[in-house]
Chain A
Amino acid sequence: GAGVSQTPSNKVTEKGKYVELRCDPISGHTALYWYRQSLGQGPEFLIYFQGTGAADDSGLPNDRFFAVRPEGSVSTLKIQRTERGDSAVYLCASSPETGYEAFFGQGTRLTVV
């Protein structure tokens, strides 16, 4: 596709459930980033991939959060045992390489009830 695509656009889940959020980067982009944006705040860095490997996962809040990018393209952010505090918009971005401007997707709005 022309831009970064994130699915689903909205996800409502019950506390304690497991969720997966998907990101399809721009074709050919090797760097991929995940950010989380709480209401009224700027995005906060979670993790970034260069190719298949996680180059920096220092922003993941705890071990309930995990992300993969097995083939160096699509990435999945996985959240176990969701808590109400995980409710936020999860943004994905990609860039041709690290060091270049990143383009953001429209985000997945996660609501934990």
Chain B
Amino acid sequence: GQQLNQSPQSMFIQEGEDVSMNCTSSSIFNTWLWYKQDPGEGPVLLIALYKAGELTSNGRLTAQFGITRKDSFLNISASIPSDVGIYFCAGSIIQGAQKLVFGQGTRLTINP
């Protein structure tokens, strides 16, 4: 079936550093989404991307929908302690959030 390869699997950084993570697929997706999940909670949507090449920001977060429609990246600038958590990319063949395929997640740990 379809798979999303998300990297890195984990990151250990200092507070204030910038973070970059990405997701690649062997299949084309028409929607890319980035979620954050805290322990015991459901995923929370951070950024949604609907067009190839689209670059979207949400505060300190920036994400891009790759031109080939097979990849996406998420950057976090000037990390703060509340950024700790697991970040997931997700893709959908059909426009919008329907049948999503999720990556394996990137666990972000921040040293104060």
Q: Which residues of A contact B (CB under 8 A)?
A: 4, 31, 33, 35, 40-45, 48, 56, 58-59, 91, 93, 95, 98-107
- Tally of contacts, chain A with chain B, CB under 8 A: 67
Is B44 part of the contact surface with A, judged by Cβ < 8 Å?
yes
Among residues of A, the one whose C-beta sits closest to the C-beta of B105 is: A42
Interface of B is mostly: loop
Interface of A is mostly: loop
**Assuming the A-B contacts A103-B45, A105-B42, are A43 and B102 also in contact, with contact meaning beta carbons closer than 8 angstroms in the complex?**
yes
> Taking the nearest CB of chain A, how far is it from the CB of B42, in angstroms?
3
Interface 1/0 per residue, B1-18 and A, CB below 8 Å: 000101000000000000
B42–A42 touching, CB < 8 Å: no
Q: Which residues of B contact A (CB under 8 A)?
A: 4, 6, 33, 40-45, 48, 88, 90, 94-105
Complex CA–CA separation, A3 to B43 (angstroms): 13
Contacts of B6 in A (CB 8 A): 42
16 contacts between A and B (CB under 8 A): A4-B42, A33-B98, A33-B100, A41-B105, A42-B4, A42-B6, A42-B105, A43-B100, A45-B101, A48-B98, A58-B99, A93-B42, A99-B95, A101-B48, A101-B96, A102-B45
